[in-house]
Structure 1
């Protein structure tokens, strides 16, 4: 059995190849997946390339990618699975905004145990193994020491599109309003992977993402935790694959932020 250190090397190499393609290729054909939701030829190309590489390097491990591929082979190894977002921040990429990344995690029973996030336009590579700390460009990173929401930079996820967007955005707008009244600044980067990695690194102090898709969150969750951030659902419960939302925060602001988020979401349902 390949150890986690070796699997991290495999994941870093795979994500690096994805990052190379992301930084040297155009989007190609852009197709609509749903209301204001897009997939490019490059999304599919990166996913195919990484899946093939991982299949050769670790054929015993399953695979889940954001972009569904017709006739893609399935694996009979539910315990371990790679989880990939080939371009996290596709809309940013299409518009030439450099806030996008390749996000690759290894999960055991759907819990992330290893993660790599490569943002080639920013020359940033984040990675972590559960229990071994988080790193950016081979330097150890940690969440901020901020103790007050009034001194906190907090990022939020994109506003919703597609089915029930108006209902979902009622929650998001209430959250934005509540944060704007309390925190130093609110930011929206358009990449969940970078939201979580930047909390791990202390660039930001928290992120509140009202979603929990595995390809969006898995790599960033393990990196944020290993950076010392508290990662929970919006109700403060431990974050896992069943969580509705994803909140990562520096320890000094986590409790206050969760109180604010809980109140905002409750009030928006009234």
Structure 2
């Protein structure tokens, strides 16, 4: 994929997510569908996914598509889009403005285009691989924080059902980080965790999962802003990682030391 093609596809992604954000702002949710234990989607999630899927099919007919709500087709070694129509649905349903539309394009197994649009905060984050990341066309850079006691760190939300076992590690991790970091936060949306780490609003985020619609766009945006992206064991992040950790480089060693302590303590207590 050449530079001109990538920039055209970024423009397509920006237009699609902007239209979807307008839909989110203008349409209150009316119908809820339960997907599992305390896990719900809304008719607005579905409408956003349909809107973006149809737009992308018209403008990039050769690309596949994977959406959180209805799955995907034409996935493989070529190019395909990954969408979370509303990351932070529970926040959205409760009237909290922390939700996002998260869209990325994967080419030959690597995310090359990313857009995260925050409908209620007038912010659109974007990135092209090897060309930096931006919010509303202002280039992003991670923070320069050098010590954990000055760091603001987010941890992803507690989960239910088949992933509930990870909550013990979340609890231990939050406890250990609270003893070292300036403050910890739980925002309820992985896309914003990663985008705000890229912007330097957060110094790190620790997500104990790696579903592609949750992390694909945010990982590219954070990487292009200079963040280190890691798995739970400290190795470089990949699509096969079990966790997604983004951190400003000066804090990597200190943060990973706390995470290792939490993992060990959880294993011993279990």
In 2, the alpha carbon distance for the partners of 1:264 and 1:76 equals 37
**By how many angstroms is 1:75 displaced?**
2.2
Q: Which residue of 2 aligns with 1:10?
A: 12
Query: Which residue of 25, 28, 53 corresponds with 1:26?
Result: 28
**By how many angstroms is 1:80 displaced?**
1.1
Q: Map 1:98-117; keep pairs closer than 5 Å.
A: 98-117=97-116
In 2, the alpha carbon distance for the partners of 1:36 and 1:190 equals 14
3-state secondary structure, aligned to 1:82: strand
**By how many angstroms is 1:67 displaced?**
0.3
| Cα-to-partner distance string for 1:199-253 (whole Å, 9 max, x where unaligned) | 0000110000000000000000000000101011121111111000000001111
Q: Which residue of 2 aligns with 1:173?
A: 171
Q: Which residue of 2 aligns with 1:239?
A: 237
Query: Which residue of 176, 201, 208 corresponds with 2:199?
Result: 201
TM-score where L is the length of structure 2: 0.96
| Cα-to-partner distance string for 1:10-64 (whole Å, 9 max, x where unaligned) | 0001111111111111112011100010010010110001000000100111100
Alpha-carbon contact 1:60-1:77 (below 8 Å) kept: no
**By how many angstroms is 1:3 displaced?**
0.6
3-state secondary structure, aligned to 2:58: helix
In 2, the alpha carbon distance for the partners of 1:3 and 1:266 equals 46
CA 1:54–1:164 in structure 2 vs 1: closer, same or farther (change >3 Å)?
Answer: closer
In 2, the alpha carbon distance for the partners of 1:114 and 1:90 equals 23
Q: Which residue of 2 aligns with 1:81?
A: 80
In 2, the alpha carbon distance for the partners of 1:178 and 1:188 equals 15
In 1, the alpha carbon distance for the partners of 2:256 and 2:160 equals 25
CA 1:265–1:6 in structure 2 vs 1: closer, same or farther (change >3 Å)?
Answer: same
Q: Tell me, which stretches of 5 or more residues in structure 2 are unaligned?
A: none
3-state secondary structure, aligned to 1:269: helix
Alpha-carbon contact 1:142-1:200 (below 8 Å) kept: yes
Could you tell which deviates more after superposition, 33-42 or 231-240? Answer: 231-240
| Cα-to-partner distance string for 1:103-133 (whole Å, 9 max, x where unaligned) | 0001123321111000010111000001000
**By how many angstroms is 1:164 displaced?**
4.8
| Cα-to-partner distance string for 1:136-191 (whole Å, 9 max, x where unaligned) | 011011000000010000001001111251x2111110100010000000001101
Structure 1 vs Structure 2 CA RMSD: 1.3
Alpha-carbon contact 2:20-2:52 (below 8 Å) kept: yes
In 1, the alpha carbon distance for the partners of 2:76 and 2:183 equals 44
CA 1:164–1:117 in structure 2 vs 1: closer, same or farther (change >3 Å)?
Answer: closer
Q: Which residue of 1 aligns with 2:93?
A: 94
Alpha-carbon contact 1:101-1:193 (below 8 Å) kept: yes
Q: Tell me, which stretches of 5 or more residues in structure 1 are unaligned?
A: none
Alpha-carbon contact 1:26-1:42 (below 8 Å) kept: yes
Q: Which residue of 2 aligns with 1:52?
A: 54
Q: How many pairs align?
A: 266
Alpha-carbon contact 2:102-2:214 (below 8 Å) kept: yes
Alpha-carbon contact 2:65-2:75 (below 8 Å) kept: no
In 2, the alpha carbon distance for the partners of 1:13 and 1:229 equals 26
Alpha-carbon contact 1:62-1:78 (below 8 Å) kept: no
